[in-house]
Structure 1
Amino acid sequence: MADIQGSYDDPFAAVPDALAGLLDSGDAGGSVAVFVDGEPVVDVWGGFADADRTVPWQRDTITNVWSVTKTMTALCALVLADRGDLDLGAPVARYWPEFAAAGKEKVLVRHLLSHTAGLPDWDGPVEELYDWPSATARLAAQAPQWEPGSAAGYHSLTQGFLVGEVVRRITGRSVGEFFAEEVAAPLGADFHIGLPAGHDHRVALTVPPPSRDESYAAGAPGGGASPATGATTVRVRDGNSVAWRRAQIPAASGFGNARSVALVQSVMACGGAIRGRRLLSQAGCDRAREEQFQGVDRLLGMPVRWGLGYGLFGSAYGWGGWGGAIVVVEPGARMAVAYVTNQMREPADDDRGMEIIAAAHDGLGRLTD
């Protein structure tokens, strides 16, 4: 069995066992964390940080979590809404006047958070993703593909720029700066949207699925645009570039590990406060679960329930990223579960996140027995 490092409470022994099983089945490396009441009951890692499997995954190894980043960007918006600085029911143009162009006067902030704004496709060059003014100007000029609010289509790359520009217009800070100062720093969370060069040595680059190379393109939930839409695709090579790490792509370029992901989202699981730090109220947390859409997502091609910035799954909510990372928030259990990996699998064959979550539930059941 793969060697697993870290610590865990005995009732949750199934969780490190599940991670070991994934590594034994061929994965390069990864980490898992389970937080209950804002404290870790599982914080484990194992495997390797590189495709050649020569560099062990360390406690402070971080990797691109792709669309799990969306949950961090959503949290920033919810914090501003809770403070009264952002009206989620207001037109986006109230904060970003240029956005009203091309028939978008009726697009509301909540439409951005729920993938119902009608702007799902990134149709510019990949390189423009690294230039915030150009990226947001492109989106401000676009016309919606459907009546805003009437349908959902996964805004895989665009959502972060749309929500992030609203955050910037309100606060005068980029979403990466706001997250760093208002969320990560108070909690001591090692998560970054726009990674400084000083952290590069800790990064585990994304490893494509077996038999694939770095030209492997996003086309699944949590990645970039679907090739079927005609929009720009994102490749593993792009995500592994220095330019991607430095840029703020708030839908897909967050870097962290399972510990930092679970720590941040524990705020949502625990009514807005953990470790003596309150980021938002219980009511502010509850907004995430306000259903905005239920039905078949036009781009994902599957039934979804969208809340405000999170996918809804029964009484839980969260989201996953291209390549396998996932976070799930369970307010009823005051639990957050995160799995982060550098190893991609083909989406149709990837149920690793569900395995980890099931193991966490096994531990939760043992706690209450």
Structure 2
Amino acid sequence: MGEVRADVQGQADAGWEGVLDAFAEGQAGDAGAAQLTVYDHGRPVVDAWSAARHPGPRPFGPESVSVLMSVTKGLLAVCAHLLSERGALDVDAPVAQYWPEYAVNGKEGTTVAHLLTHSAGLPAFTGDPADAVGTDLLDWDACVAGLAAAAPVWQPGTACSYHALTYGHLVGEVVRRVTGVGVGAYFAAEVAAPLELDLWIGLPPEEEHRFVPQHSPTPPPTRDRIAMMLKAVGLHDDRPARSLMASFAELSAVTAAFDSRAGRAAVIPAAGGIGNARSLARLYASLIGHVAGTRLLSPLTVDRARTPRTDHLPPPAPVRRPANADPARFGLGFELPRSGLPMLGEGSFGHAGAGGRLGMAHPESGLAVGYTCTEMTWDAAGGPDPRWLPWTRAIHQAAGLPAGR
């Protein structure tokens, strides 16, 4: 093995050294910092970070924490599955069983599983992108009250379209109703504390000194660009189009809010998780095996979580899915492999986040991975993040997995 590039620091167990070089290769064109941690059957075998191009005023290292974006959805899914495994939550039950106010305006039959699979028909808090600007996305009570009163854009369970921010409040409010505490507090007590994770849904003030903000070399998509994208799939000035445009606007607004202390402290369980790669990999490792004596979910629960739930669902009418489209695939709260998100092959589960973040596990191989980065790219081109490809291949090689698994 050649010498590891100077802009990457860290260590790897024997046989895993190639992942360090591959990580350096993937970061070669990245203008920000990044972290990569790999677990193999419950123990860390790779722990690396790259900070040579980090532009921020705060130093960046292995214990730095940053915004996870939609990787946070996986953290929330873990909470739901813990409650399900403990008999406190039935994912096939109506949402109204736990959240009675939700059973209005055509949502009476919506199940918790519909929330977890982005098929609930509420992809935005508002029905118009102009309204999204004035929505206080940091006000939990107002956001969930609006969702409870809303009419779905499509009949729940009949179509699937990504709920970029509303996923967190929908599932998170069910968790709050079941447990009596906010999802940030539940995650901290039941998930992060037993595993000693540096992961939060709502960053405590005493951890602010470790936070490194993200930066973006490009602005988020403009409203005109989003409108063009929607027209390309058959949406014009109709309710589905306005709702999806509002979803884009809300995501852009909340991303900007993470630059503030109020935004980082807020509970935004679809995008506002904050942590590092070490803890992200440790979390996923604990879902598929024991880590320091702790396993969070049983194999049966994990198998149910990663069973495909949306492969048969079309996009909401009148959306036309292009022939070469690579639609997202969901289990119960987790993303599943597809060509644009190959993960570690079939059987993997996890969640990616805007800008390239990624947490995932593969039970059959015993592998779990956490990857974080500070460069917030707004790239809608599709396909896997080019930074992932070198180290994903190297992990396959080190673990003895068939190439392209």
- Residue 63 of structure 2 aligns to a residue in which SS? coil
Q: What TM-score, normalized to structure 1?
A: 0.89
Range 170-179 or range 119-128, more displaced:
119-128
The residue type paired with residue 321 of structure 1 is G
Between the two proteins, the alignment pairs up a number of residues equal to 357
User: Which residue number in structure 2 is paired with residue 256 of structure 1?
Assistant: 275
Q: Which residue of 2 aligns with 1:280?
A: 297
Could you tell which deviates more after superposition, 2-11 or 60-69?
2-11
Match of 2:327 among 282, 293, 303: 303
In structure 2, the residue matched to 1:119 is 122
Higher CA-based Rg? 2
Structure 2 equivalent of residue 186 of structure 1:
194
How far residue 234 of structure 1 moved from its aligned partner, in angstroms, is: 3.0
Structure 1 gap ranges (5+): none
* Deviation string, structure 1 residues 187-233 (Cα, Å, up to 9, x no partner): 01110000011111211111103xx25x667979xxxx999822033
Alpha-carbon offset, residue 240 of structure 1: 1.9
Residue by residue over 1:93-115, the C-alpha shift from the partner in whole angstroms, topping out at 9 and shown as x without a partner, is 00000011211011000011111
State whether residues 11 and 366 of structure 1, in contact with CA within 8 Å, keep that contact through their aligned partners in structure 2.
no
Q: Given that residues 104 and 144 in structure 1 are in contact (C-alpha distance below 8 angstroms), is that contact kept between their aligned partners in structure 2?
A: yes
Q: Aligned to 1:356, what secondary structure does the other structure show?
A: helix
Helix, strand or coil: the match of 1:293?
coil
Q: Residue 288 of structure 2 contacts residue 361 of structure 2 at CA under 8 Å; is this kept in 1?
A: yes
Alignment correspondent of 2:306: 289
Of 2-11 and 315-324, the range deviating more from structure 2 = 2-11
Secondary structure of the structure 2 residue equivalent to 1:90: coil
Q: Is the 8 A contact 1:29 1:341 kept in 2?
A: yes
Counterpart position of 2:396: 361
Alignment correspondent of 2:244? 229
Structure having the higher strand fraction is 1
Show the 5 A alignment for 1:148-167: 148-167=156-175
Cα distance, 1:305–1:70 mapped onto 2, change above 3 Å: same
Alpha-carbon distance in structure 1 between the residues aligned to 2:222 and 2:172: 25
Counterpart-to-counterpart distance in 1, 2:262 and 2:164: 19
Gap change, CA 1:183 and 1:19, over 3 Å in 2: same
> Partner residue of 1:94?
97
Structure 1 contact 326–340 (Cα < 8 Å) conserved:
yes
SS of 1:181 mapped into structure 2 = helix
Q: 1:126 to 1:187 in 2, by over 3 A?
A: farther
Aligned mates of 1:190, 1:148 — CA distance in 2 = 35
Asked if residue 132 in structure 1 is aligned to residue 140 in structure 2, the reply is yes
Residue aligning to 2:232: none
Sort the Cα spacing of 1:114 and 1:198 in 2 relative to 1 into closer, same or farther, 3 A.
same
Structure 2 counterpart of 1:329: 361
* AA at the equivalent of 2:397: D
CA distance in 2, matches of 1:325, 1:333: 22
Inter-partner Cα distance in structure 2 for 1:48 and 1:157: 32
Amino acid at match of 1:27: A
TM-score by length of 2: 0.82
